[in-house]
Amino acid sequence: MHCSFNINNNNESLQLIYNEEKIYIKRDSNKISEETLNSKESFVFKYLIEHSSISNPQSARDVEESFKLHFDEEFSLYALKNIIASIRKKYRSLCKKAKVDNNSELISNLYKVGYFIDLDKSSTNRIAPKYDINQFKPSQFEMLKLMFNTYHRELIKALIAVFTISSFFLFVVYFFQILYTTKIANEYSENTKHIAAEVMDYGCDSHGAVHSLRHSLNLDSVVMTTPYGSCYISKTRSKMIELNQVDDFYDSADFAYSRFMDTEHDIEMVARISKRSIEARYKNSLLPLLVDSISIQKNGYYILNLGEESKSIYQTSLPTGATITFYSDDIVALWIALSLILATLLYRSYILGFVIYLFRWKHISFEEEPIINTEDNSVLYYELLSRVRNVGVLSFINTMRRTNLLTFHTILLIETVRKAKLNNSHEIYGVNVCPSALVGSNFARLREHLAAMEANEFVVEITEYSNIGYGCEVIDNIKDIKKLGITIALDDFGTGNNNIEIINVISPTYLKLDRCFVKDIESGEHHQGVLLNISEIGRLSNITMIYEGVETRRQQYILCQLGYNLHQGYLYSRPNDSEEQ
């Protein structure tokens, strides 16, 4: 006979091997200590392996009778105790040589009822599922695709809101920029038109024309042609000229020119405007990010051409008959950039949360923690727990809750189970569902994926990771899940919102008693009495009880003696180094 047992040594997994002649301890594949058993020690050890368990310990009389049949001799007084003591001594010697810190006696006799081996067998088929659920975990691309399919309506609504707000904001900013600049242009254009009319009314032989020109905001000087001759007028003087004597007036690159006509009196005037002053004026009024360039044209000639022309966004006429045009080549890029900034401001917590979740996804693994029926060592179902490398469980859950990703994470778990089922996995899995996922649009999304699961092959554990109580909507939605044929379990029973009234309304299949009621049952009758009283609620309600937090053999034994055989805890499935959810 060959049998191996697990030894837990400060989170290090070792094995105790029995092969009828020896017992030895292995680390990985290396033997690190061994002891030889004589024939009587080997027989007792083998008998207990084959016939005993914590729920079915073998009495001294049973062992002695089997010994007599095998060896055809009587046991001397205290012989069995001496043999067991010798085995224990050799086991302690093994542990000492292997530097193993282990509290197990190897062979225990709780309350003198009977003997059993106080170690777990290493047979992985006892509680481990056939498939590793992580091989069905969605890839990052599949996760993103599922995210879009699940939240595309909300995403479209958010994009519409962002683009609408950014468009309105950009429109308002552009509107006031153009309005302000156009107002300045109108004021100067109106002044120019008024001064030009006054100058033409005064004519060439009047000092009034010089005086009027001094009040101009734009005009530097003019050349005016009348039926009585031509003249040059500046802000200091007026003089009669011949038109062929004013080439210098027209040839200067520092000025722009504008033409005015008084057809009634047959007067034509060309006004000269300083480019430097007009450019400085409009530059000071423009926001460079919004408007790339601006131009003012009259009669096909540029009065102002500030910057390079690009895409025209607005054009209007001025009182002088000139046309002002605004250009912006980056309006689309500016709109997109503004939308991104606005989206970041409005949804920064959600965006950051999802980016963190996306990064963590490759570090998230799912582990199957079994619910064990100790009567036959069978698995009732596996609760799926999310384990995150180097991240605390509360931090992980709170981040998902703040960013409203807890429901989506649950959907990913459900989809992982569905893929496993499609690949011929016959295990029954349980997934934690927070009450916040059972209200509003969250439940509509969740129900779509739950409806795809096979009836009676999936368990929904309603958890306490929420401040939401069991209101009418939550209760109605739990009942809706039950109609789908999905099994309901209330997690952490005895704490939080789970109370007797809720049990009567929901009628779950399982009540999972919180670990706080199990951890102290070794302390005495008071804690066992509390456990009995709470368990009576399940019995009276005809609901199966599951006991969480079973970590020691003594806890296991007490629960089995009380008739409570559905257990879950580290005794059956040690956690990894990573955190769990």
| Paired residues of 458 in beta bridges | 429
Give φ, ψ of 178 to 5 degrees: -70, -40
Give the pLDDT score at 77: 60
Rg, C-alpha atoms of the chain: 45
Short-list 409, 417, 408, 405, CA closest to 452: 417
Give the separation between CA 84 and CA 563, rounded to whole angstroms.
28
Report the alpha-carbon angle 543-475-428, nearest 5. Answer: 50
Those residues with Cβ within 8 angstroms of residue 296's Cβ, 6 or more apart along the chain or in another chain: 185, 302, 303, 304, 318, 322, 323, 324, 325
Residue range 492-511: average pLDDT? 79
Q: How many CB atoms lie within 10 A of CB 272?
A: 19
Could you tell me if 63 and 40 are in contact, meaning their C-beta atoms sit under 8 angstroms apart? no
Short-list 522, 467, 473, 476, CA closest to 497: 467
Report the alpha-carbon angle 539-541-546, nearest 5. Answer: 55
- CA 205 vs. chain centroid, Å, equals 84
User: Is pLDDT above 60 for 579?
Assistant: no
The DSSP code for 134 is: G
- Give SS3 for 212: helix
Give the separation between CA 151 and CA 160, rounded to whole angstroms.
14
User: Is pLDDT above 90 for 250?
Assistant: no
Residue range 305-309: average pLDDT? 77
Give φ, ψ of 295 to 5 degrees: -140, 150
> What's the pLDDT tens digit per position in 148-204?
999 889 899 999 999 999 999 988 988 888 888 888 888 888 988 899 999 999 888
Short-list 390, 395, 396, 386, CA closest to 577: 390
Could you tell me if 406 and 436 are in contact, meaning their C-beta atoms sit under 8 angstroms apart? yes
Short-list 271, 327, 332, 279, CA closest to 299: 271
Those residues with Cβ within 8 angstroms of residue 379's Cβ, 6 or more apart along the chain or in another chain: 127, 129, 370, 371, 372, 373, 427
Could you tell me if 324 and 185 are in contact, meaning their C-beta atoms sit under 8 angstroms apart? yes
> What's the pLDDT tens digit per position in 383-424?
998 888 877 777 787 788 888 889 999 999 999 999 988 887
Buried b (16+ CB within 10 A) or exposed e, 440-451: eebbebbbebbe
User: Is pLDDT above 60 for 216?
Assistant: yes
User: Is pLDDT above 90 for 145?
Assistant: yes
Give the pLDDT score at 124: 45
User: Is pLDDT above 50 for 464?
Assistant: yes
pLDDT band at residue 430 using 50, 70 and 90 as cut-offs: very high
Residue range 510-521: average pLDDT? 90
| Paired residues of 7 in beta bridges | 14
More confident residue, 331 or 575: 331
Give the pLDDT score at 444: 93
Give the pLDDT score at 100: 82
Give the pLDDT score at 461: 94
Residue range 541-557: average pLDDT? 89
More confident residue, 220 or 124: 220
Q: The dihedral of CA 332, 334, 337, 339: what is its sign? A: negative
- In the chain, pLDDT over 70 holds for what percent of residues? 93
Q: Which of 68-77, 219-228, 470-479 has the lowest mean pLDDT?
A: 68-77
Give φ, ψ of 493 to 5 degrees: -60, 140
Residue range 222-239: average pLDDT? 90
> What's the pLDDT tens digit per position in 352-377?
888 888 888 888 989 889 999 888 77
| Helical segments of 203-316, H only | 207-214, 247-251, 275-283
Residue range 285-299: average pLDDT? 78
Output the six-digit token pair for 345. 């401001």
Q: Which of 53-62, 388-397, 541-550 has the lowest mean pLDDT?
A: 388-397
Give the pLDDT score at 105: 84
Give the pLDDT score at 574: 64
Give the pLDDT score at 243: 81
pLDDT band at residue 14 using 50, 70 and 90 as cut-offs: confident
Written as one letter, the residue type at 579 is: E
> What's the pLDDT tens digit per position in 340-350?
999 999 988 88
- Name the average pLDDT for the chain: 85
Output the six-digit token pair for 189. 């254009």
> What's the pLDDT tens digit per position in 111-137?
678 888 888 776 544 466 777 899 999
Give the pLDDT score at 125: 41
User: Is pLDDT above 90 for 26?
Assistant: no
User: Is pLDDT above 70 for 211?
Assistant: yes
User: Is pLDDT above 50 for 581?
Assistant: no
- DSSP symbols for 140-163: HHHHHHHHHHHHHHHHHHHHHHHH
| Paired residues of 439 in beta bridges | none
Residue range 101-108: average pLDDT? 82
Give the pLDDT score at 443: 93
Could you tell me if 565 and 559 are in contact, meaning their C-beta atoms sit under 8 angstroms apart? yes
Give φ, ψ of 275 to 5 degrees: -65, -40
Give the pLDDT score at 126: 47
Output the six-digit token pair for 347. 């949804």
| Helical segments of 406-550, H only | 406-422, 440-450, 472-483, 500-506, 525-540
- CA 34 vs. chain centroid, Å, equals 51
Burial class, 270, CB count within 10 angstroms (exposed 0-12 / middle 13-18 / buried 19+): middle
pLDDT band at residue 467 using 50, 70 and 90 as cut-offs: low
The pTM (predicted TM-score) of the whole model is 0.68
Output the six-digit token pair for 581. 């959810």
Short-list 251, 268, 250, CA closest to 259: 268
Could you tell me if 44 and 112 are in contact, meaning their C-beta atoms sit under 8 angstroms apart? no
- In the chain, pLDDT over 90 holds for what percent of residues? 25
Give the pLDDT score at 578: 43
User: Is pLDDT above 60 for 534?
Assistant: yes
User: Is pLDDT above 80 for 575?
Assistant: no
Give the separation between CA 33 and CA 98, rounded to whole angstroms.
6
Q: How many CB atoms lie within 10 A of CB 363?
A: 12
